[in-house]
Amino acid sequence: MPRLAGKNVLVTGSSKGIGAGCVLEMAREGANVAINYFSSPGEAEKVAEQCRSFGVKTLVLQGDVASKDRVEEMIAETAAAFGSLDVFVSNAVYSDRQLMIEADLEGFRKTIDVSMWGAFYGVRAAALQMVKQGHGGSIVVISSPHAVIPIPTSMAYNMAKAAIDHMSRTAAIELVGHKIRVNVIHPGWIDTPGERKFFSEEQIQEGAKNLPWKRMGRPDEIGKAVAFVASDDADYMTGSTMTVDGGVSLPWWSNRGEGKM
């Protein structure tokens, strides 16, 4: 029996990249999936077609997670279409990269609005829906090593990810009495279209060789982790952070993987 059979799931920002990896793996595990996109309808429908090949129901929802009202609507639409919302995955992000003293504050604010407020709106709306249903649920927040590593030129993103880590732990303790689990995933450097915003293909390929695991991660690897955390196999897991980063968070820069300090 697939581990998510009969579960109903919404993943934000799931038309490509990590979000697409999540919905595909969860559909493979038997879940009905709602796919949220902001500006890529064709890609969202393509992901939905792949999910349907596993024999599950799909729903494609356009929406900006920075809009509280739209997030609440998407939660309600998912529950109405599938009969319930059992799993919510907060994944949608936005990021610009500039030094703090040179940053365009419009992009800085957009990063916070999407990556922090968007996550909060989703977690809150999903929790309200799950409390109303009365049979528990699972919330998974895709965060980042940026939450703990002060990577330069990424201040707004660092701030947002640090905030949602603490938000998730607080939500976990507030919702434990409702049997709603809240957990965090820290992906490493994952091979997604979004990385092409910041790096050329040559930079990506060369950079990957210098990672501890000698390669970038794949969206499906994050999807597998999310599918496990969302499933009943992880029923005793809440308020936790799972790191899936190929060793990026380790102090590997001090020895370049030579196994000694």
Which residues are marked as active site? 157
Widest CA span in the chain: 55
Helix or strand (DSSP H, E) at 241? strand 241-244
The two tokens of residue 173 are: 């303790």
Q: Is the dihedral of CA 142, 111, 250, 190 positive or negative?
A: positive
CB-based contacts of 170, cutoff 8 Å, min separation 6: none
Spatial CB neighbours of 102, under 8 Å, sequence gap ≥ 6: none
User: In sequence order, what E strands does 119-192 have?
Assistant: 137-142, 180-187
- Residue 87 tokens read as 């799993």
Give DSSP secondary structure letters for 33-101. Answer: EEEEESS-HHHHHHHHHHHHTTT--EEEEE--TT-HHHHHHHHHHHHHHHS---EEEE---------GG
- Cα angle 112, 196, 40 (rounded to 5 degrees) comes to 70
